[in-house]
Amino acid sequence: MVNAPFSQDQEVVTMFKRMWKSRSGYLFILPKYILFTIFVLIPIIWSFFVSFQEYRIFGTEWVGLRNFQDAFQDDLFWVAVGNTLRYAAVVMPSTVIIALILATLIHPLRRGAQTFFRASFYLPTVASSVVIAMVWRWIFQTRYGIANYFLGLVGIEPINWLHSSAWALKSVIIMAVLTPPGVGIILYLAAMGSIPEDLYEAARIDGANRFVQWWRITLPLLKPTTLYLMIVSTIGSFQVFDQVMLMTQGGPGYATTTIVHRIYNVAFRDFQFGYAGAMSMLLFVAIITLAFVQSKLVSSDVEFKG
C-alpha cells in the first residue's frame, strides 16, 4: 500500500517518456488537432452555451431552457425529425447491407480484380457531395432527366421527382442508397482479409458450404466493422444537409426539411442562434443515444489472432 503512489508516479513518468520518444508523430498530427479544436470542439462548446441564451450580435439574454421548450413545441421541428428518421431508417441499413454484399462478392476475386473494384467503388466518395447531388438533380429532372426517360421506355408516366411532396424525400433517399458505399466496402474487405484461413479450412473439413462458412464465420467476425459502419452511417444520415439543400431546399413545402436543414434556416435565415443551438444540442444527444444503443445491440466479444 505504501508503494502505490510511487508506482503510479513511475507509470506517469513512463508514459511521458514514451510520448517524448514519439514526439515526431505527435508533431505530425498537431495541425489536425489544432484545426479540430478551432472548427469542431470550440463551436460545439459555444453552441452549448448559446442554446441557453437569446443570442444577439449586440448583447445576449440568458433564457435558460426556453429554447429547448420552444423546440419541443415547434411543429416544424417535429416535421424535420420525422423526415430525418424516415431518411435514416432506409439509408443506414441499406448502406451497411449493400457494402457487406459487395465486399462479399469482391473478396474471393484475384488481387488485380479486387484492386479494380476497390477503386471503382471508392471513387465516388472522393467526389464532392455537392457534385453528386447536382448530377442526381439532373437525373431527376422532370422533362429531360434520364430517370423519366427510362420510365417512358416501359410506358410509365413521368414523375415529378423533386417538386412533389410524395416523391421529393424518396428521391433524396434513392440518391443516397444508390451512391456506392466505398468506405464501407474498403473496411469490410480489410476485415475479411484479416480473418484466419484456418477457420475456413476447419469448416470445409466439417462439410460446411460457402454460405454456412460466411454465416457462421465471416459474419460474426465482422461485427466490430458492422458496428462502426452502423454508427458512422447513422451519424451521416442524421446530419444530411448538402443533398437536401441542393436538390430540394427542404421543399416542396417542408416535405424534405431535415433537422440540420431546419437548424441552418433558423440560424442563418432567421438569426435565432440560441434556438438553433438548442436544436443542435438535441440532435447531438439523439446521435449519442442511438450510437450507444447500437453498440449494445451489435457489440461482440469475439476475438481472434491473425
Residue-wise pLDDT tens digits, 194-225: 999 899 999 998 888 999 999 999 999 999 99
- Are the CB atoms for 304 and 221 separated by under 8 Å? yes
- Find, among 201, 198, 222, 229, the residue nearest to 302 by Cα: 222
The domain locations on the chain are 74-298
pTM of the complete model: 0.86
C-alpha distances in Å from residue 34, one per residue of 39, 43, 169: 9, 13, 37
C-alpha distances in Å from residue 115, one per residue of 95, 109, 229: 21, 10, 21
CATH code reported for the domain at 74-298:
1.10.3720.10
CA atoms within 13 A on the CB side of 58: 0
| pLDDT higher than threshold 70 for residue 140 | yes
- Tell me what pLDDT residue 1 has: 47
Which pLDDT band holds residue 306 (cuts at 50, 70, 90)?
very low
Averaged pLDDT score across all residues of the chain = 88
Distance between CA 184 and CA 233 in Å, rounded?
9
Could you tell me which residue, 137 or 23, shows the higher pLDDT? 137
- Are the CB atoms for 275 and 255 separated by under 8 Å? no
Q: What is the mean pLDDT of residues 83-107?
A: 95
| pLDDT higher than threshold 80 for residue 3 | no
CA atoms within 13 A on the CB side of 59: 1
- Tell me what pLDDT residue 20 has: 80
- Tell me what pLDDT residue 301 has: 54
